[in-house]
Amino acid sequence: MESKDTDPKCLSSEDEYEEYEPFFDYKRIRGDLDEIFINDSASISILTEKFLVLGTHWGSIYVLDLKGNIAKKWNSHRAAVTSVSVDIHNEYVLSGSDDGKVVIHELFTNERKIIADHQRPVKAVAIEPLYNKLDGKIVSGGALGQLIVHEERRWPLGKRDVVLDEDKGTIRLIKWNQNIIAVSNEQGIMLYEMQEMIPLTKIDRVSYNINTDLIPCRMRWEDEKTLLIACGNHLQTIEIVQIHRNSTEQKNKDQKITKNIYAKILSTIESDGVIVGAARNKDDRLLLIYPEEVDTEHQQTTSTDSISEQSIINGPSNSQEIKEFNSDENKEICKELDHKKEYTKEFGSHSSKVSLPPPELRVINENFEEESNDVLELPGYEKYNANNYDLILQPNSSVSGEKIWYVISPKQITEVRQKSFKQHISWLTDRSKYKEAYESIIKTVINKEGRFGNLNENLPGETIIEVGLGYSEGLLARKKYSEACESLAFILSNVNNLSNSDQFFEIGPIWEKWAFKFAAFGKLGILVDFIPTNVVGISQTVYEMILADLLNFNVERFCEITQVWPVELYNTKSVELATIDKITKLESAEDDMSHASANSLRLALANILDRAGFIEQALKHFLILHHPGIIERINRENLAPLVRNRAYLLLEYDNYYIKHNHKEHSNYLSDGGSEANKENILDLGLCGEGINLLISNIVSIPPSHVIPQLLKWPIYMHLYLHLLRLRDPDAGGQFADMQDFCGVVNITHWVKRVGYVNLED
């Protein structure tokens, strides 16, 4: 058990140890209990809202706080305390014992007095919820077989003892609820109305012929109308139903009340072991199970006896009828074992050939399916029988939103709480079960499903990060790189939303560390879809590493992601150099696919430079690509000064669109062409956007700056000078000789190039 002192475990079918997560959170109550249990042991215990009442086998009564510290102690009995009861105001503690005494104790005055002496073992007592000294009832019963009401009445009536019922065998348990008491005896469960002190109805047992000295009957009022009865291996849920009658049906007082109430069985659960305690938790049922015992020699179901250290009962009880569901053959085996047993002064004794499994705390859901099974390895469980255990609920513990139960055993009292989601995750992470923890976080926190889904409980940020990193580490080790990155991204992106802490967790350094881990595996490219771009603490180096990986292995993805990522994430110059190098390599290849990739990269680079503010370099690449609308943008945004060194690219831009937009001139060389056609093509050249941009901006791009750039291309120079003379004769006149030098032959040559030849050849 993850708590702390009681350890639930699970064994596989091969008897190999398999770690099992406890369904509940268990905590051993210590305080003064450790000292009490050195020389004594618990025989009975009940809970109030504020304290624990403990009866022991040495006859002592303890009142302890919920941490196990002693507040009151009385040595009221000379034998084992068998039953205790407390009024609703927590002023009186009533006890019964195997010494035959019924004793009432006042908590605030420390007084006590004997209410009755049965001269036979008392097994059950109950005090009226609103009991007071002047007017109150106490009920007791036991081996005498009489159910006795000890009534305090106001003067002048005085005290009286009334036998409410008898001759139904030993009375084992009494539970009081408002004006009704439920009494367990050898014949079943009887309900009595305590205002008129008359019987109401009888509830038959489902499990018959059980040894009630060893197999307990447990009852608990869940509310005013619902009674849980655990007897043998059956749990019944009973509803107390009131019948409304007409007054004409009333014959006498007794019949009136008897006919008014009956018990309706809502459900019956059968277990494979003895149910020694039961409670409800919303729609679920909690069952404390005393499992079947295993005879290691005969491999059959057997039973063991248990005797009190100070019991006044002479001799041990015969245990051969402990389980009525045994076969006749098994009963004979039990008889043989009974003759061979030797009893000691230990609380319980058993044959060395009998193996007693520990008790189990099970949860049965609303569909009557077993949801969990915690095996409780309580101290000394090998020696104890079913009667030595109980499961009790702290009254009104659910008012605070959490129910608290207690498992009672002779040497330990264990607090049982519903496990929190944090405890569940901690249990998994402590055992490196990060996959299960991750899936549980998704199911519970995100989808609001499962056992913890309706608790609205968040986790500490440190825990969420630990789970995410641990799970991702495991996936990385198994080479599930995409899944590792996905889980990492989910946890890191949601940690501040899912955390119950006000602290803001810096996830940038974590991403940086993991980027280098993926780099070591050569899987940096996987990060591109997950790494955040709005987180402080991730260096430019990380993003540059990812882009470099994409540049080498996935050019298409590089082009896509650079359109999305802010340019501030990386050093633009570093990316520019790497991209140009890649473009050069692709352009040197001879296949069309490489050339297409080179163009895609150049466009991506142009966009990067453009967004980064390097407009001049961006315009260069846009012109090389003959990007549609780029000349229009230059004019619109007055960017002409930035292309003053790009005269050749501007004229190449014109050449590209003449070739692609006027294909009727592509056959000029083959048909010889006419002079009119030549003049038409020349006119198209003079109308190009690029050349007109140069002519329109002779102030920022003077001819003296353009002509040196076109010396290697006399055709372009002639076109430029020709248009310059047409637009501004004064500006073009000084270059008339250079224009004549270019000659008409060059114009004809240019016309041919438009049709077929690439100007870069």
Q: Residue 608's closest CA among 664, 652, 547?
A: 547
Q: Is the pLDDT of residue 344 over 50?
A: no
Which of 98-107, 253-262, 443-452, 701-710 has the lowest average pLDDT? 253-262
Average pLDDT value for the chain: 81
* Residue spans of beta strands (DSSP E) within 340-484: 354-355, 360-364, 370-375, 390-393, 404-409, 412-418
Q: Please state, in angstroms and rounded to a whole number, the distance separating the CA atoms of residues 24 and 362.
A: 10
Tokens of 512: 């940086």
Exposed / middle / buried, residue 451 (Cβ in 10 Å: 0-12, 13-18, 19+): middle
What's the pLDDT tens digit per position in 125-144? Answer: 999 999 988 889 999 999 99
Residue 305 is classified by DSSP as -
Q: Please state, in angstroms and rounded to a whole number, the distance separating the CA atoms of residues 287 and 364.
A: 8
Higher per-residue pLDDT: 406 or 208: 406
Q: Please state, in angstroms and rounded to a whole number, the distance separating the CA atoms of residues 576 and 267.
A: 77
Q: Is the pLDDT of residue 719 over 50?
A: yes
CB distance 190 to 168 below 8 Å: yes
What's the pLDDT tens digit per position in 248-303? Answer: 444 454 444 445 778 899 999 999 899 999 998 888 999 999 986 544 343 333 33
Count of all residues that appear for the chain in the document? 761
Q: Please state, in angstroms and rounded to a whole number, the distance separating the CA atoms of residues 524 and 20.
A: 38
Q: Residue 643's closest CA among 651, 634, 652?
A: 634
CB distance 184 to 165 below 8 Å: no
pLDDT at 397: 62
For the chain, percent of residues with pLDDT exceeding 70: 79
Phi–psi pair at 411, nearest 5 degrees:
-115, 10
Q: Please state, in angstroms and rounded to a whole number, the distance separating the CA atoms of residues 5 and 409.
A: 13
**Highest mean pLDDT of the ranges 214-218, 242-246, 640-644:** 640-644
Q: How many CB atoms lie within 10 A of CB 471?
A: 25
pTM over 0.75: no
Q: Please state, in angstroms and rounded to a whole number, the distance separating the CA atoms of residues 604 and 561.
A: 9
Phi–psi pair at 160, nearest 5 degrees:
-145, 155
State the average pLDDT over residues 181-210.
Answer: 89
- When pLDDT is cut at 50, 70 and 90, the band that residue 45 belongs to is very high
- The helix/strand/coil state of 547 is helix
State the average pLDDT over residues 714-740.
Answer: 74
Q: Partners of 17 in the beta sheet?
A: 11
pLDDT at 18: 66
- The helix/strand/coil state of 112 is strand
What's the pLDDT tens digit per position in 481-507? Answer: 999 999 999 999 888 777 766 667 889
Higher per-residue pLDDT: 734 or 478: 478
What's the pLDDT tens digit per position in 544-569? Answer: 999 999 999 999 999 999 999 999 99
State the average pLDDT over residues 362-387.
Answer: 91
Q: Is the pLDDT of residue 475 over 80?
A: yes
Q: Please state, in angstroms and rounded to a whole number, the distance separating the CA atoms of residues 402 and 692.
A: 83
Higher per-residue pLDDT: 521 or 304: 521
For the chain, percent of residues with pLDDT exceeding 90: 55
Q: Please state, in angstroms and rounded to a whole number, the distance separating the CA atoms of residues 461 and 473.
A: 18
CB distance 230 to 218 below 8 Å: yes
Q: Partners of 287 in the beta sheet?
A: 278, 362
- When pLDDT is cut at 50, 70 and 90, the band that residue 33 belongs to is very high
State the average pLDDT over residues 473-484.
Answer: 94
* Domains with residue ranges and CATH for the chain: 41-204 (2.130.10.10), 649-761 (no CATH)
Q: Please state, in angstroms and rounded to a whole number, the distance separating the CA atoms of residues 440 and 424.
A: 9
- When pLDDT is cut at 50, 70 and 90, the band that residue 245 belongs to is low
State the average pLDDT over residues 662-679.
Answer: 46
- The helix/strand/coil state of 502 is coil
What's the pLDDT tens digit per position in 564-601? Answer: 999 999 999 999 999 999 999 999 988 889 999 999 99
